């Protein structure tokens, strides 16, 4: 299949899943005019699950596989850079790019700051809507910035690509009407708020799960807004990713096993984003992932350093989402107990869904709320028991 055909095919697949936002018809037009393959570098990296490493996919050597990586589907990013064995830059997955652009409420003529240029694809889409000389994009990696600059020029796009740490924004171009980040932050940098005009909007992935859209208050002294959707982005460079689950487990034998008094459906089913988001807020350093194990779906918990737990359906029971669950825990923290306490808090507060949550940033503070900006604050919980 030709690249243009693959692009059209992907657009159709997105239409079938209702992924093109109705209120922003410009996004589909922009993606049609600036297809993602024009921004993909000649070398991509594909995850080889059996070897546990990324392997290169070169356009010249295997154009079909390269094209398949670029157009792997609405939810698939294409990794473009590996640093220390981990993905450090990617051509983001189409569904999330589209969703975040929709959240930005971008009109023609607006001045935009983007943090995390990567390939330049999202930069080009922003410029398609905002117009020439309206978009400044900041990338921390000079080589990626140079390559993006070339691709953006080849696509006829007039934007500024700067090299720098996006944490500082780009004050030389302030004030902006819109700020959009394509890497995940834990704390929204205050510089982004300062550099956005009152009434303007910041859209950024927050934590490991959701993206938020914040509106700047009339006095410019705070920014607040709702979670808009799921968005799994790589964290800002320099963030300690911690060790993977199996490394943590191999250091610590399991030393406690017992029943876990919840069925796993809310952590593993299609609606899992709601509880996972609450856990992310209440237990920011605990990684929660689910996958297939021998007895059904397994949930893995770890803190990247000392402690881990697994939640598995009890052998001999039906391994479906309502099966009885066993917790195995190792290390000084009791992660299954911590998750149970946070799960209970979420239930006691009415089991809010992802879209009930929001975030407020002031010069000295940031907090997550639910219901409305004056609603209950969701503070991280202290570890349940540290031995
Ligand atoms: C997911 S990728 C960008 C995807 C891009 N929108 C695209 O579709 O090609 C995230 C990018 O953010 C960059 N990045 C990470 N931390 C950064 C920081 N503190 N300042 C600027 N760029 C950063 C990474 O180098 C990477 O290129």
80 lines ligand 1 (CB under 6 A): no
* Per-residue buried b or exposed e for 237-262, using 16+ beta carbons within 10 Å of the residue's own CB: eeeeeebebeebbeeeeeeeeeebeb
Would you place residue 383 in the very low, low, confident or very high pLDDT band (cuts 50, 70, 90)? confident
Indicate the domain borders of the chain.
3-230, 245-348
Give 267-279 pLDDT, tens digit per residue. Answer: 998 899 999 999 9
pLDDT at 322: 67
Highest mean pLDDT among 52-56, 249-253, 290-294: 52-56
pLDDT at 368: 96
* Mean pLDDT to the nearest integer, 327-348: 95
Give 35-68 pLDDT, tens digit per residue. Answer: 999 999 999 999 998 888 999 999 999 999 999 9
Burial class (CB in 10 A: 0-12, 13-18, 19+), 265: middle
Q: Which of 3.10.450.50, 3.20.19.10, 3.40.50.1220, 3.40.50.150 would CATH assign to domain 3-230? A: 3.40.50.150
162 lines ligand 1 (CB under 6 A): no
Share of the chain above pLDDT 70, in %: 97
Give 99-127 pLDDT, tens digit per residue. Answer: 999 999 999 999 999 999 999 999 999 99
The active-site residue, picked from 24, 90, 92, 103, is 92
pLDDT at 385: 59
Query: What residue's CA is closest to ligand 1, atom 26?
Result: 89
Cα(210) to centroid of ligand 1, in Å?
A: 17
- Evaluate if residue 318 carries a pLDDT over 60: no
Q: Assess contact for 129 and 106: CB atoms under 8 A.
A: yes
Decide yes or no: CATH 3.90.320 for domain 245-348.
Answer: no
Mean pLDDT across the chain: 93
Tell me how far apart the alpha carbons of residues 196 and 225 are, in angstroms, rounded to a whole number. 14
Q: Which of 88, 150, 182 to mutate to test the pocket of ligand 1 (most atoms within 8 A of CB)?
A: 182
pLDDT at 316: 57
Tally Cβ neighbours within 10 Å of residue 174. Answer: 17
Cα(92) to centroid of ligand 1, in Å?
A: 10
Cα(89) to centroid of ligand 1, in Å?
A: 6
Strand order in the sheet with 296-302: 256-260, 325-330, 308-313, 296-302, 287-293
Q: Which of 36, 116, 119, 181 to mutate to test the pocket of ligand 1 (most atoms within 8 A of CB)?
A: 116
Give 30-44 pLDDT, tens digit per residue. Answer: 999 999 999 999 999
For residue 86, give Cα distances in angstroms to 25, 180, 241, 244: 35, 24, 10, 11
Better-scored residue on pLDDT, 123 or 256:
123
User: Please, what is the angle between helix 3-16 and helix 26-33, to 10°?
Assistant: 160
Q: Which of 69, 89, 150, 233 to mutate to test the pocket of ligand 1 (most atoms within 8 A of CB)?
A: 89
pLDDT at 204: 97
Cα(314) to centroid of ligand 1, in Å?
A: 42
Active site annotation includes 92 = yes
């Amino acid at each position: 299949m030709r690249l243009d055909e693959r692009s059209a095919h992907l657009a159709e697949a997105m239409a079938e899943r209702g992924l093109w936002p109705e209120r922003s018809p410009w996004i589909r037009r922009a993606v049609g005019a600036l297809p993602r393959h024009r921004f993909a570098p000649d070398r991509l990296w594909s995850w080889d699950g059996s070897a546990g490493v990324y392997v290169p996919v070169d356009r010249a050597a295997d154009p079909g596989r390269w094209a398949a990586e670029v157009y792997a589907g609405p939810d698939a990013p294409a990794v473009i850079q590996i640093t220390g064995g981990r993905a450090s830059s990617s051509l983001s997955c189409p569904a999330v790019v589209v969703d975040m652009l929709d959240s930005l409420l971008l009109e023609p003529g607006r001045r935009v700051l983007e943090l995390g240029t990567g390939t330049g694809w999202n930069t080009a889409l922003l410029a398609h809507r905002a117009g020439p000389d309206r978009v400044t994009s900041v990338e921390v990696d000079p080589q990626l910035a140079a390559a993006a600059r070339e691709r953006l020029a080849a696509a006829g796009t007039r934007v500024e690509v700067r090299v720098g740490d996006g944490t500082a924004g780009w004050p030389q171009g302030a004030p902006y009407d819109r700020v959009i980040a394509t890497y995940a932050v834990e704390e929204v940098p205050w510089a982004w708020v300062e550099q956005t005009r009152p009434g303007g909007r910041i859209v950024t992935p927050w934590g490991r799960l959701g993206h938020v859209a914040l509106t700047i208050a009339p006095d410019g002294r705070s920014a607040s807004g709702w979670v808009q959707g799921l968005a799994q982005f790589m964290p800002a460079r320099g963030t300690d990713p911690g060790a993977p689950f199996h490394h943590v487990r191999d250091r610590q034998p399991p030393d406690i096993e017992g029943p876990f008094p919840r069925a796993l459906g809310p952590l593993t089913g299609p609606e899992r984003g709601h509880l996972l988001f609450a856990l992310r807020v209440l237990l920011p350093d605990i990684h929660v992932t689910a996958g297939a194990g021998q007895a059904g779906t397994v949930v893995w918990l770890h803190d990247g350093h000392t402690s881990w737990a697994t939640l598995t359906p009890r052998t001999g029971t039906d391994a479906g989402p309502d099966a009885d669950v066993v917790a195995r825990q190792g290390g000084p923290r009791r992660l299954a107990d911590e998750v149970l306490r946070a799960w209970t808090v979420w239930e006691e507060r009415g089991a809010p869904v992802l879209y009930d949550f929001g975030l407020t940033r002031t010069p000295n503070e940031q907090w997550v709320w639910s219901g409305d900006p004056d609603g209950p604050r969701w503070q991280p919980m202290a570890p349940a028991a540290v031995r």
